Amino acid sequence: MQALTNRAKQVDAEPLSFWERLYLPGIAKGMLITLKHIFKKKATINYPEQKRPFSSVFRGLHVLNRDEEGRERCTACGLCAVACPAEAITMEGAERKKDELHLYREEKYAARYEINMLRCIFCGLCEEACPKDAIYLTETFAPANYTRSSFIYGKPDLLIPDPVAQPEDFERAKGKLEEHKANQRAKKTD
């Protein structure tokens, strides 16, 4: 019969020799192997202090985006909720008032926008469905918590900091706070 793989091995059914029956050489061999492992590189890392980098295509927690003037991009069209295979997204739309022009980019906005992180499977289909570049998946993941309700993220959890009103928070979220501060100092000296 032809072997399915080239890994097949003939079974060795020979009776054990005297040295094999003594077991001590075998034990010595095993102890050498474990001794070698003492000096090997550790498989684990010191987690909270050290973190492994994510892949560049990692999909983590969502953010709701703003435009350059700090206005929310979301128009509550509901395409993300429709695209979501896990039905994790809930939203309610509302009409923009006259005095809210600086808050929302379009005439309609999401008054309520919730993602249930326990339902979410982080597939990124909402990101692909959004016509307004309003929702993105980031490189962080949901921290542990005690209650289910704390995993339902509302607008305050999801919205990115306002680049106009909170420039420092915005730069920190981008991970470029130091660069931003240097720029500010350079501007002042000019």
Partner 1 sequence: MDLLLVDWALVFEKLILIVIVVLASLGIALYTTFAERKVAAVIQDRRGPNRAGPFGLLQPFADGLKLIFKEDIIPLTSNKALFVLGPGLAMVTALLTSAVIPWGSALDLDGRTVPLQIADINIGVLYIFGVVSMGVYGVMIGGWASNNKFSLLAAIRGASQIISYELAMGISLIALLMLTGSLSLKTIVEQQMGGGWGGLLGWNIIYQPLGFLIFLICAFAECNRTPFDLSEAESELNFGYHQEYSSMKLGFFLFAEYINMFISSALMATLFFGGYDIPFVNEANLAQSWGPNIVAFLGVIALLVKTVLFIFFFMWVRWTVPRFRYDQLMDLGWKKLIPLALANMLITGAVVLWLNK
Q: Which residues bind partner 1 (CB under 8 A)?
A: 27, 30-31, 33-35, 37-38, 40-44, 46
Distance, in Å, from the CA atom of 71 to the CA atom of 118, rounded to the nearest integer, reads: 28
Least gap, CB of 27 to partner 1 (angstroms):
6
Q: In this complex, which beta carbon is closest to partner 1, that of residue 26 or of residue 154?
A: 26
- Provide the token pair at 154: 């509302």
Q: In this complex, which beta carbon is closest to partner 1, that of residue 40 or of residue 97?
A: 40
Least gap, CB of 9 to partner 1 (angstroms):
22
Least gap, CB of 20 to partner 1 (angstroms):
15
- Provide the token pair at 98: 């006259």
Least gap, CB of 29 to partner 1 (angstroms):
10
Q: In this complex, which beta carbon is closest to partner 1, that of residue 13 or of residue 38?
A: 38
| CB proximity list for 74: less than 8 A, separation 6 or greater | 64, 65, 91, 109, 110, 113, 132, 134, 135
Residue among 180, 181, 134 at smallest CA distance from 155: 134
